[in-house]
Structure formats: C-alpha cells, structure tokens
A and B are shown apart, each in its own frame.
Chain A
Amino acid sequence: MSPDYILETRGLTREFSGFVAVKDVELKVRGGSIHGLIGPNGAGKTTMFNMLTKFLLPSSGSIIYRGSDITGERPARVARRGLVRSFQISSTFPHMTVLENVRIALQRKMGGSFQFWRSERALDHLHDSAIRILASVELADYANLNAVELPYGRKRALELATTLALEPELLLLDEPTQGVAHEDVGRVVALIKKFAQGRTVLMVEHNLSVVEDLCDKITVLQRGQVLAEGSYQEVSNNPQVLEAYVGVADE
C-alpha cells in the first residue's frame, strides 16, 4: 500500500441476514487529512464505522491500518493502536464527574489500571493534564459536575475531550454536530479543526456546510457502495450525487 494512506479498506462488505449494508467498499484515508463520509440515510455509514472500530465484524474484505491488517482484532486493541471513535449519540460516563470522564482516558494510557489495591491518589498526577484538556474545550469550570448534568452541546464537547485525551492518531467521529444546537455548531467545527492538526480524522456528517468547511476529501456512499469520491466541489457537482440526494429529498 502507499505509505500516505493511514487507513485502507479492501472489498469491505457486511451483510445482515441477506441484506447487504456495505458492499465492496474501497476506502482510502490519507494521513493528516479530514476525510468526510456522507450519504443518504441507510447508506451504510454507521455500519462502516462500526466495522472500522471492530464493533462489528465484516462479512468479507479487510481493513488495513498503518500497514497492518486489523480485520480480526478486538475493539479494545484497535483503540490502543490509536484508532479511536466517538459515538453518534453523545456518549459520556453520566454519573462520573467531568474531570473523571477525561481522567479515565488519561489513565488508560498510563497503564496500571488493574491495580485494585492502590489508592485513588495514584491518579492525582493526571489532574493537571485533565484540566488542561477540559480548558481547551471550555469545560474547566464544570470539572466537578457530573457529566449527566451538562447541557447537550457541552456533553459533545466532553466526549470530544475524552477522545482527544487518548491522543488518537486516527479519530473517527460519528456525526459530531448531530443534536447540537444551531448556534453551537460553529464551536464544534472550530474544535475539530483545532484538534485535526497533526492528526487524521474520518467523520460521518449530515450537515453539508460542516462537511464543506472541514473536509479535504469526501466519499459518498449510497446503498452500501461508493458513489463518488473527491473534494467538496467535485462531489457536489457530480450529477449522480445530486440525484441521490434529490431522490431522497423527493421521498
């Protein structure tokens, strides 16, 4: 494979009892880029995501990350390789404090998480880093609040902060602006832009202006297959893509 690509899929296919959700997808994500994955509902975007992070096993095909085949690996192992996902529905640890949410991610990198005999003070040295990360998403003031008490937009920011605490090489974002109030979308976009520097991002997104703003390259899926690929300009002028989207709009 070409060394520029951090993530590649070859003939990736997933069937659910006869229904083919993703078919023969060849996806190539260039290192350091923000790659968008778009398509109408049911195009197979979330299935793709779940396969890439090993929450689902592919029916056939392979996934290559940094030159090694990770198709059969377990989710926790993939995460430790630096391929970390966010979830479509804001996914925090609700009854842990905002600080603990980030700290649990920092703790994983540190190791020693099986030490049941040590005091919680063993984690105190992570507080400064945790606060710094929270400050970068404007959550430092909420550090001692339980995550469940945050408003939705802030939960999104917290989820992003937790993910970023792992310093992932490849960040998979599943609809990062979904459910975020209109006026907060700009803030989430700015956050992603800031953290995408020096990293690779693969994101599923419905909001096309966000995609236009952020993505270097876009892959359009339809009915589980790649319909088009290219820059926002190329893709948005592609007659097949227009048809697919207009077709959906007509329903």
Chain B
Amino acid sequence: MTFVRKHAVLLSLVVVLAIAPFLFYPVLVMKVLCFALFACAFNLLLGYTGLLSFGHAAYFGAGAYTTGYAMTAWATTPELGLLFGVVTAALLGAVFGGLAIRRQGIYFAMITLALAQMLYFFCLQAPFTGGEDGLQGVPRGKLFGLIDLGNDDVMYVFVSLVFLGGFWLIDRIIRSPFGQVLKSIRENEDRALSLGYDVDRYKLVAFVLSSALAGLAGATKTLTFGFATLTDVFWGTSGEVVLMTLVGGVGTVLGPVIGAVVIIVLQNELADKVGSWVLVILGAIFVVNVLLFRKGIVGEITARFNRT
C-alpha cells in the first residue's frame, strides 16, 4: 500500500497512458509526451533550482538533430541514436550552462537565449542539418536490432516508457539529497553559499541534467515523427516550454505535463481553424495566467486543496 501511495502520481500516469490511445490519436499523444518530458526537464531548472533558461530549445533541438543524424547517416539502432542525442545535449548544456551560470537573473536568461540563437543559425548553415528543410525521413529503426518501431502501436509503448523513465528520474532528482541543495539555492542563494555549498557547481550539474533530459525529449520527437527541423531549435520553442510550465504550474511535479497537454492540444485543435491566430490565443492565455492564476493549473488546485 505504501508503494502505491508513494508512487501515486507515476502509477496514475501509467493508467492514463494505457487508456489514452483508445480515446485519442496515438501520434498526438506521443507528441504531447515528448513536449511534456521537455517541460519537466525545464521545470527542474525553473521550478526546483530557480534558473530561468530562455534557450532551452537548444538542447531539445540538439537531441533532435543529432539523433536524426545518427539514425540516417550511420543507421544506428534507436537506443544508440537516443543515447547519442542525449550525450550531445548534455555536453552542449555543460558548455552553454557553464557560460551562463556566471550571471544571475535576467542576465542569465539573456545569455541562454543568445547562445541558443547561435545554435539556431549554426543549424541553418551547417552542411549536415539539411538547412531550411531539416532532416527528413529519419527511420525509427529496430530497438536493440529486434523490435521494429515502425508500427505506431509499438512506438507508442516505447515513447510512453521513455517518458515515464524521464519523469521518474526527474522526480527522483527533486527528492534526492542533491535536490534538497537545489531547493535551498532557489530559496536563498546567498545563504546556501554561506553554508558552504559551491552553488555554481550545483547549478551546473542541474543545468546539464536538465539539458540531457530536454535532449532525450527532442530525440524521441525525431524518432516519432521522422524529422528534425529548425523549429526544434527555434526561440519560439524555448518560449513554448516556458509557457507550458507556467500554465501547468511551475515547481510542481505534474504541472509541466498538464501544461504540455493544454498547449499542444490547443495548437492542434486551433491550427486548422484560426491559422496564425493561435499565437495570439496562446499569448492571451499567458497574460491571463500571469494575472489570475500565477501558480498554474496544478499549483492553484493544490493550494485550494490545502486550504480546505
């Protein structure tokens, strides 16, 4: 019973994921899962370390492109492709994060944005990214050389497992001794420093972990859809992940997942009906979010629940 209580969130996600493909288009659910993982990775920084990275698409995109490249050019198996994407994103996070954490607050955010823009233009020009076309027709391959992911149902199970694994890991990090230190840095950086914590090193490790998981999300997205394009490294994607996290509830475990569901479903439903107006609608949601429910959907519900 204690097992059920302790892993209640994770178990309910398993149940939801088991039912979801019967109610919704599985490819849409997979897209939601990739972005949900991306938002959870982002939330590890914003919600649990207090760092606003405004260029997180860089790591999502790095994972997306490198996995796509490995799958296409080297015809690796998907698990190796994903690993390659994750490692690349982590290394990129170590370099970019290492530069950005020297500054705080708005300066940190601006540096992460500037570095992400550099990567965007790199991807536009580099010979192996396909320029404006991106990488198209990336094969899904056979998992461990055995299981063909070409079938959407098999792929659905695979993406669900990747998402659950990433979600579990983030939850674990938040509750670990390391997570406690991150929380103390978010709460009062000077005090953490005066207790003898080398806050910059903790921030950097958090940044690398977050980048690696964002890379995993991007890499999984490439496998699912078979392409990696400039949108994956675009600043708009960085903005989207901020929006998802804030709408769902920053600093809550489930918030980014709910946020991703809301934003992706809205985009999907509205794209045909209102065209580019979808951006205006998302902007309006953001304004309402900041003015009326700053804690986000999950944050507000938890607050209500605790009050009664």
Contact = CB atoms under 8 A, between A and B. Distances in A.
Interface of A: 53, 55, 74-77, 79-80, 84-85, 87, 91-96, 100, 103-105, 107-108, 112-120, 122-123, 162, 166
Contacts of A166: 195-196
B198 A76 contact: yes
A211 to B, nearest CB: 23
Contacts of B177: 107, 112-113, 115, 118, 120, 122-123
A108 B176 contact: no
Closest 10 CB pairs of A and B: A79-B196, A116-B178, A93-B187, A80-B196, A76-B198, A120-B175, A116-B173, A91-B191, A116-B176, A104-B184
Contacts, number: 103
Interface residues of B, number: 27
A173 B188 CA distance: 18
Contacts of A94: 187-188
B171 to A, nearest CB: 11
Given A93-B187, A94-B187, A104-B181, A116 B196 contact: no
9 contacts: A55-B193, A79-B195, A91-B188, A93-B188, A113-B202, A116-B173, A116-B178, A119-B176, A120-B176
B209 interface: yes
Nearest to B206: A116
Given A76-B199, A103-B180, A104-B180, 16 more contacts: A53-B194, A75-B193, A76-B193, A79-B193, A79-B196, A84-B195, A84-B196, A96-B187, A100-B183, A104-B184, A104-B192, A107-B180, A115-B177, A119-B172, A120-B177, A166-B196
Interface of B: 172-173, 175-181, 183-184, 187-188, 190-199, 201-202, 205, 209
Given A93-B184, A96-B184, A96-B187, A76 B178 contact: no
A170 B53 CA distance: 38
Contacts of B193: 55, 75-76, 79
A105 B195 contact: yes
B180 A120 contact: yes
Contacts of A105: 195
A122 B172 CA distance: 12
Contacts of A75: 193-194
A80 B199 CA distance: 13
Listed residue (A74, A87, A92, A114) with the most chain B CB atoms within 10 angstroms of its CB: A114
Contacts of B199: 76
Contact of B209 (A91, A96, A116, A122): A116
A100 B197 CA distance: 15
A98 to B, nearest CB: 13
B194 A85 contact: yes
B176 to A, nearest CB: 5
B183 A93 contact: yes
Contact of B194 (A79, A103, A122): A79
A122 B177 CA distance: 7
A115 B173 CA distance: 9
Contacts of B209: 116
A104 B190 CA distance: 14
Nearest to B169: A117
A92 B191 contact: yes
